[in-house]
Amino acid sequence: MKKFTVINEGFTCENCGEINPKAEKTCRNHCRKCLYSKHVDLKYPGDRMSQCLGTMTPVFVELDKKKGWMITHKCVECGEEKRNKAGSDDNLDLLSSMIFEQNKKTYEHSRGQKIGEKHL
């Protein structure tokens, strides 16, 4: 098994200014309030090896049967997409409104044409 250093620490969100405390069980990598993240990890969550440091915006939310809510973040700098587990204290209002928008889009989309896109 490969070992890598996981840095789990609190941080202040650069997008909305929310002070995020250190997460208990998981490695918090996005703001619990606005769900924005930062491109700091290269290969593994918490490795903090990326040189990009771009802002990562939440672009997709889905329910994983095993892992629970998953948020896909996309980096505005390099376009990298990463899936992250939602935290237990994440902003549920924002999560559900994102899901609502997605469902609306899927519905409108499916009425027009076949859904060809697949998310990760």
Name the helix (H) or strand (E) containing 12: strand 11-12
- d(CA 62, CA 107) in angstroms, rounded, equals 16
- d(CA 67, CA 89) in angstroms, rounded, equals 15
Nearer to Zn ion by Cβ, of 43 and 65: the residue is: 43
| Interface residue with Zn ion, options 4, 6, 12, 16 (CB under 5 A) | 16
- d(CA 105, CA 12) in angstroms, rounded, equals 32
Q: Give the interface segment with Zn ion, choosing from 1-9, 35-43, 66-74, 82-90 (CB under 5 A).
A: 35-43
Q: Does 63 bind Zn ion (CB under 5 A)?
A: no
- d(CA 70, CA 77) in angstroms, rounded, equals 22
Taking residues 72 to 101 in sequence order and writing x for each that binds Zn ion by CB under 5 A, - otherwise, the string is ---x-xx-x---------------------
Residue 107 CB, nearest approach to Zn ion (Å): 29
Question: 54 is written with which tokens?
Answer: 């771009």
Tell me which residues touch Zn ion (CB under 5 A): 13, 15-16, 18, 31, 33-34, 39, 52, 54, 75, 77-78, 80
